[in-house]
Structures are given as C-alpha cells and as structure tokens.
Amino acid sequence: MIRILLSSLKRYASCFFLLLLTTPTWGFDLTRHSAPVPALSIQVVPKDAIPAIDNPEVVPASEIDDLAPEEQVIGVVIGDEARAYPIRILQGHEIVNDDVGSRPIAVTW
C-alpha cells in the first residue's frame, strides 16, 4: 500500500514539476496578471486521468437493488425517457456521456 502511494506521489509530483516548467497558457493572454503564471495553472490530476462513462447500461428502476431510497442522484428527463445517475458513481468518473430521448447528453459532477 505504501509503495503504491509513493509511486502515485512521485507520478503526480513529476507532472506538477513538468507543469511548472512548461507553463501552459491554453490560448489565454497572460501578459497582464498579478499572480505568477505557474500559480494560475496548477493541476492536481493529469489530463484524462478520470475516465468518463460512455453509453452506460440502462436498467429499469424496478430492477435496481443497490440504490437506497435516500441516495442522491442527478436526474434527467427528456421527452418520455428518464435517467438517474447516482452521485456515488459520478464521484469516481465525473462525467457520463449518454443518449436520452435520442439526444446526446453529458452529465457532469
């Protein structure tokens, strides 16, 4: 466990150091700023480190057995279709790409 933690810390520390060296601006004009540019571009997790859920499996509410009545969800209703995206799942993925009512949507957390 400690070896995995140290490995993760080294990986994130090297990403942070690289970020400080490269100082990306992402197309913004940073010629007028009061904070040092590296302070404006701190990134905790590397880009694309949190995987999105694409085209999630749709299960009728009557068949769900692992969702407590008090559990929080993000609900979407489009036309006559409804979806519930549990917050506990979104905490690990942060985005779901889905189609509801034949319309593409992105649910973010």
Phi first, then psi, for residue 17 (nearest 5°) are -65, -45
The per-residue pLDDT for 1 is 43
The per-residue pLDDT for 84 is 93
In the structure encoding, which two tokens stand for residue 108, read together? 């973010």
pTM of the model: 0.57
Tens digit of pLDDT per residue, the chain (109 long)? 444 444 554 555 554 444 445 555 566 676 776 766 666 566 677 777 888 999 899 999 889 888 888 999 999 999 999 999 999 999 888 899 999 988 999 999 8
